[in-house]
């Protein structure tokens, strides 16, 4: 519903009563924001020098986007608008407009990963969704196949089920920081219920190359494929259908440039919903068909009537994170204007230069050669000293797992940022 028709639909109530100034600065305008993006974003290859100006965080050399991606001025403005609404005008009847924004947010995410909008639920977090999936599956007597490049905190969720339910964990230990379907093959058997991968590793940026082959392997054994896509979506093309991904999850605070933590998306292939992946915390309505709740109880109906959520919302619980939805919607529009292929083409030369120059400076890479993601990591003999140097030059990267420096440039970074980092570390 467009703003005008929405306002007209609130018949008989004066504009001042409704606080229309707040309404007009909330959902409907927000949903039109993409129309007002400047010309450097619209049509063809964007001007990335101007994109840099959309991210005030680029005032310093920030290349830790794999931890938290900064928001653009547009996403920040959208989140600000909903905060202003909460501050000044909460209670204004905005549900029709809200419903539209909420659905548009899901539609845009579905489009980004080539899913159907009927396959997308809002999520609290990647790890939460992965656990919801596990809680909703019948894993009795089965095993799951994982790798040591899976997100470490998620692995805990599997461990709990091993201890509690006897679920067998089959672990592939990578030898050279990567793996293929062939590596996993010996671990998979007819008792395998699930193969879980992290599409792009948070450790070294390894992008799993043969996801479809891993999916085929899972399916041939009656299992499903889960992918943690948080380090990929928004930065590299993700096509859940072509890749054969059955269930996936992400938050928006990384490459989706969203406006805050604790909000994301959960994708569940349609035919798996409520069958292989059942909702684990049923949400929905409850009616009491007895006095004093109703004057005349209907004898043909139960006394307590449950109406659980249908469709992908069955995986949602209670209210979604409104601020998250509004921030994500704006970011999804921005990312669409930029184009994921353009984003990828912009960042590739940056990581390529790092891949070439860092080993020459004595820092071997732990990221496979020719890897197609914006994350690249290097091993350091003296990590503390390297971080001190970078901090004093106001260059932000991550040092993880002891001595592994993770550098993750994004749309607002450029080759000058890379050269400066190389200069400081040389």
Give the nearer residue to ligand PLP in terms of CB position, either 192 or 198.
198
- Angstrom distance (rounded) from CA 58 to CA 416: 12
Q: Which residues pair with 143 in a beta bridge?
A: 168, 192
- When asked if residue 331 is in the footprint of ligand PLP (CB under 6 A), the reply is no
Q: Name the residue nearer to ligand PLP (CB basis): 389 or 404.
A: 404
Query: CB of residue 228 vs ligand PLP: minimum separation in angstroms?
Result: 5
Q: How far is the CB of 68 from ligand PLP (least distance, A)?
A: 9
Of positions 58, 127, 208, 386, contacts ligand PLP by CB under 6 A: 127
**Are the C-beta atoms of 223 and 184 separated by less than 8 Å?**
no
User: Does 134 help bind ligand PLP (rule: CB under 6 A)?
Assistant: no
Nearer to ligand PLP, 231 or 257 (CB): 231
Residue partners of 300: CB distance under 8 A and separation at least 6 = none
The nearer residue to ligand PLP, 97 or 256, going by C-beta atoms, is: 256
Residue of 131, 198, 257, 373 interacting with ligand PLP (CB under 6 A): 198
Can you list the positions of beta strands (E) in 296-397?
304-308, 376-379, 395-396
Choice from 202, 313, 351, 410 touching ligand PLP (CB under 6 A): 202
Distance CA 69, CA 408 (A): 10
Min. distance of Cβ 192 from ligand PLP in angstroms? Answer: 22
> Closest distance between ligand PLP and the C-beta of residue 124, in Å?
8
Considering the rule CB under 6 A, would residue 264 count as an interface residue with ligand PLP?
yes
In 3D space, the residue among 313, 257, 251 whose CA is nearest the CA of residue 126 turns out to be: 251
Burial class (CB in 10 A: 0-12, 13-18, 19+), 280: middle
Is residue 101 involved in binding ligand PLP (CB under 6 A)? no
Annotate each residue in 203-242 with x if it binds ligand PLP (CB under 6 A) or - if it does not, as one string: -------------------------x-xx-----------
- Residues counted in the chain: 426
Name the residue nearer to ligand PLP (CB basis): 200 or 347.
200
Q: What is the layout of strands, in order, in the sheet containing 168-172?
A: 120-123, 264-268, 247-251, 224-228, 192-198, 143-147, 168-172
- Burial class of residue 295, CB neighbours in 10 A (0-12, 13-18, 19+): exposed
Nearer to ligand PLP, 202 or 351 (CB): 202
Provide the CA 71 distance to its chain's centre, in angstroms: 14
251 is an interface residue for ligand PLP by CB under 6 A: yes
Q: Which is nearer to ligand PLP, 136 or 264 (CB)?
A: 264
Contacts of 128 (CB under 8 A, 6+ apart): none
Tokens of 92: 């204004």
Does residue 410 belong to the site contacting ligand PLP (CB under 6 A)?
no
Q: Which residues bind ligand PLP (CB under 6 A)?
A: 125-127, 151, 198, 202, 228, 230-231, 251, 264
């Amino acid at each position: 519903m467009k703003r005008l028709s929405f306002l007209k639909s609130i018949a008989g109530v004066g504009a001042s009563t409704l606080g229309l100034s707040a309404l007009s600065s909330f959902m409907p305008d927000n949903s039109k924001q993409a129309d007002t993006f400047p010309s450097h974003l619209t049509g063809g290859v964007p001007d990335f020098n101007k994109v840099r100006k959309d991210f005030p965080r680029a005032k310093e050399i920030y290349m830790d986007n794999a931890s938290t991606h900064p928001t653009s001025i547009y996403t920040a403005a959208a989140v600000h608008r909903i905060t202003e609404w909460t501050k000044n005008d909460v209670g204004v009847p905005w549900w029709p407009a809200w419903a539209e924004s909420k659905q548009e947010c899901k539609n845009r995410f579905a489009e980004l990963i080539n899913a159907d909008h009927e396959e997308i639920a809002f999520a609290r977090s990647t790890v939460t969704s992965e656990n919801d999936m596990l809680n909703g599956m019948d894993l009795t007597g089965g095993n799951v196949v994982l790798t040591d490049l899976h997100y470490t905190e998620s692995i805990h969720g599997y461990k709990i089920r091993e201890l509690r339910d006897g679920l067998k964990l089959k672990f592939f230990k990578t030898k050279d920081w990567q793996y293929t379907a062939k590596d996993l093959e010996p671990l998979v058997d007819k008792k395998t219920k699930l193969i879980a991968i992290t599409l792009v590793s948070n450790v070294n940026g390894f992008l799993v190359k043969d996801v479809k082959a891993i999916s085929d392997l899972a399916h041939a054994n009656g299992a499903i494929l889960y992918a943690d896509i948080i380090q990929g979506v928004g930065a590299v093309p993700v096509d859940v259908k072509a890749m054969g991904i059955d269930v996936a999850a992400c938050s928006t605070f990384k490459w989706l440039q969203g406006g805050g933590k604790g909000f994301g998306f959960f994708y569940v292939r349609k035919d798996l919903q409520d069958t292989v992946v059942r909702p684990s915390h049923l949400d929905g309505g409850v009616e009491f068909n007895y006095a004093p709740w109703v004057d005349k109880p209907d004898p043909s109906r139960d006394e307590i009537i449950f109406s659980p959520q249908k469709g992908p919302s069955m995986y949602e619980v209670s209210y979604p994170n409104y601020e998250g939805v509004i921030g994500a919607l704006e970011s999804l529009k921005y990312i669409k204007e930029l184009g994921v292929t353009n984003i990828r083409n912009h960042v590739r030369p940056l990581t390529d230069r790092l891949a070439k120059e860092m080993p020459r400076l004595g820092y071997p890479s732990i990221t496979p050669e020719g890897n197609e993601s914006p994350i690249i990591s290097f091993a350091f003999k003296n990590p503390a000293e390297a971080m001190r140097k970078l901090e004093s030059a106001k260059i932000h990267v991550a040092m993880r797992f002891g001595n592994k420096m993770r550098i993750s440039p994004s749309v607002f970074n450029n080759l000058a940022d890379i050269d400066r980092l190389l200069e400081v570390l040389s």
